[in-house]
Amino acid sequence: MLRYHLGWEDADGLPSSASGKLLRPSLCLLACEAAGGEPRRALPAAAAVELVHNFSLVHDDIQDRDRERHHRPTVWALWGEAQGINAGDALLSLARLALLRLHDEDVEAATVLEAGRVLDERTLEMVEGQVMDLAFEQAGQITVDDCLAMMEKKTGALFDCAVYLGVLAATGDRQAAEKAGAFGRQLGLAFQIRDDLLGIWGLQTRTGKPAGADIARRKKSLPVVFGLAAGGEISDSIKSVYQQERISEDDVAQVVRGLDKAGAQAFCKRLSEEHKARALTALASAGLGDGVTELRSVAAFLVYRDY
């Protein structure tokens, strides 16, 4: 199940190459290099962050009832919910075991212990974000600030963790790692805002999900929350669709028209840009040296990626 979910094998156990984008481990390795370390030194931390991310995906698919991810059946869709929960739990345990191998790269024991603390704290924060996200589905009223607070935990925390651990592995300096982690957190927010845009206006050939998939699931993503806050006819139209027992393609189109009228897409693009700018400001103050060029390039890619 784990090899299948990670994209290394297909459902029959045959070799496959369907792995994810590996954004978080890439950030970890680039942060290590930017701080003057050899990227290999941070490999255990990079693996740990990616395994935590995949633990969350396996469980999220069960909670959201998603039967497909990247054009493939999800773990629970193939093996059932109970085994899916086991698979997610195993990925989380493997993450902590992977992190301990920092010691094999001559990272001091006290630094490994600090890395473990940060990984667990950020993982807990990520889970808190998922709790908020699920609670929002039943909540009567959610503000844009509520939504951003949830996104900072659910996505920003693990981006923060990836960069923090990369710098920590390179330097052992907690203060430097914390400053760099702030870059990751803001970048995670910018990335998630963009992802929410793609969940409504993205092309299925690029996202792997039908256009408007988040609306069909009654997900209160940031554009929808912004539309609901618009009030009047726009808000009433969205509420009427979300209160229905079944949401048709016409219903999805109705919500999208309302969001377009409210200017939700433009708002989210501006907000993503703002958090990207904050990320780059945090990066500039982290004192990492010339290696930040690659991190800047990653930030641009995540915010400007095509629909």
Q: Are 45 and 180 in contact (CB under 8 A)?
A: no
Buried b (16+ CB within 10 A) or exposed e, 48-69: bbbbbbbbbbbbbbbeeebeeb
The stretch 110-125 carries a mean pLDDT of: 98
What pLDDT does residue 71 have?
86
pLDDT band at 48 (very low <50, low <70, confident <90, very high): very high
Would you state the pLDDT for residue 307?
44
**pLDDT number for residue 205:** 47
In tens, the pLDDT along 64-112 reads: 898 998 889 999 999 999 999 999 999 999 999 999 999 999 999 999 9
Residue 185: the pLDDT is 98
Mean pLDDT of 248-260: 94
Residue 304 has pLDDT above 80, yes or no: no
For residue 280, give the CATH number of its domain.
Answer: 1.10.600.10
Find the mean pLDDT for residues 239-251: 91
Q: What percent of the chain has pLDDT over 70?
A: 96
Q: What is the mean pLDDT of residues 36-56?
A: 97
State the pairing for strand pair 68-69/72-73.
antiparallel
Supply the Cα-derived Rg of the chain in whole angstroms. Answer: 20
Model pTM? 0.94
Range of the domain at 113: 2-304
What is residue 203's predicted lDDT score, i.e. its pLDDT? 61
Average confidence score pLDDT of the chain: 93
Mean pLDDT of 146-160: 97
Q: Work out the percent of the chain whose per-residue pLDDT is above 90.
A: 81
**Number of structural domains the chain divides into:** 1
Predicted local distance difference test score (pLDDT) of residue 202: 81
In terms of Cα–Cα distance, which of 197, 184, 191 is closest to 224? 197
Average pLDDT over residues 31-56: 97
**pLDDT tens per residue across span 162-196:** 999 999 999 999 999 999 999 999 999 999 999 99
Is 279 a residue whose pLDDT tops 70? Answer: yes
Q: Which of 160, 148, 172 is nearest to 119 (CA)?
A: 160
pLDDT value at residue 209? 59
Task: Tell me what the mean pLDDT of segment 204-211 comes to.
Answer: 56
Say which residue, 115 or 213, is predicted with more confidence: 115
**CA dihedral sign, ordered 118, 123, 124, 128:** positive
**pLDDT greater than 60 at residue 124:** yes
Diameter of the chain measured on Cα atoms: 62
- Confidence at 222, pLDDT banded by 50, 70, 90: very high
In this prediction, residues 290-303 reach a mean pLDDT of 88
Can you say whether residue 126 is alpha, beta or left, with left for phi > 0 and alpha for psi between -120 and 50 degrees? Answer: alpha
The model's confidence at residue 204, banded by pLDDT at 50, 70 and 90, is low
Q: Is the pLDDT of residue 141 over 90?
A: no
Cα distance between residue 2 and residue 83, in whole Å? 11
